[in-house]
Amino acid sequence: MHVHIFWDSLSPEGLQMPVARCISSLLGLKTTVSENPVRIAGMDMIRRQVDAQALLDSIQAYKRRQNIRDPVLLVVHQDLFREGNRFVFGLARESVGVGVVSTSRLNNEYYNLQGNDDDYIDRIVKEGAHEIGHLFGLHHCEDPECIMFKPDTLDELDRKKKNLCPACREQLEARRAGYIEEC
């Protein structure tokens, strides 16, 4: 079992390997990175954002066609929204094992600050690991330093550590064992 990371062509070039390595060691899961084969569905021309639910539908359909049983995380650069939210950093659909993360609001340049690849990688890792956590059945956590804490702002994302709290860690390990058996 491993997690497929699909890296879209507009996502930051050159960061995919460090991000994948870091997510692997954070969650204790194997990851593979490949070029994104999924069409970016759900573009809303008025909002200039992509509907994350429509994009998840697209990944789900691809996963079924290709008969991929392992979880899939798509990394895109388009800004994402969901009905009722101005934007989302990412979204996951646990029942079918698909998730998406946007790098759009994760770079310093978005906030008119000096760009920094280490910050950028850290944030993509935290968001990616968070969505993958959902794919393994983890819910949001109250601990502001845990990967499963739901950040509403960049500051809250930066406050998180690249780690799971002991309770979430234990739950992930139990779920992962179950996942391997099922497949």
Provide the minimum distance between the beta carbon of 25 and Zn ion in the complex, in angstroms, as a whole number: 18
Using alpha carbons only, give the angle 169, 174, 177 rounded to the nearest 5 degrees: 125
Closer residue to Zn ion (CB): 26 or 141: 141
Q: Binding of Zn ion at residue 132 (CB under 5 A)? A: no
For residue 31, the Cα-to-chain-centroid distance in whole angstroms is 12
Q: What angle do CA 12, 18, 23 make, to 5 degrees?
A: 105
User: Taking CB under 5 A as the rule, does residue 26 contact Zn ion?
Assistant: no
Task: Give the nearest distance from C-beta 162 to Zn ion in angstroms.
Answer: 13
Asked whether position 72 contacts Zn ion by CB under 5 A, the answer is no
How far is the C-alpha of 5 from the C-alpha of 125, rounded, in Å? 12
Query: Active-site residue 109, yes or no?
Result: no
- Select 109 or 145, whichever has its Cβ closest to Zn ion: 145
CB atoms within 10 A of CB 123: 23
As a whole number of Å, the CA-based R_g of the chain is 15
> Which is closer to Zn ion, CB of 4 or CB of 134?
134
Residues of this chain, 154-173, that bind Zn ion according to CB under 5 A: 165, 168
Strand partners, 99: 73, 92
Catalytic residue among 13, 127, 131, 170: 131
Active site amino acids: 131
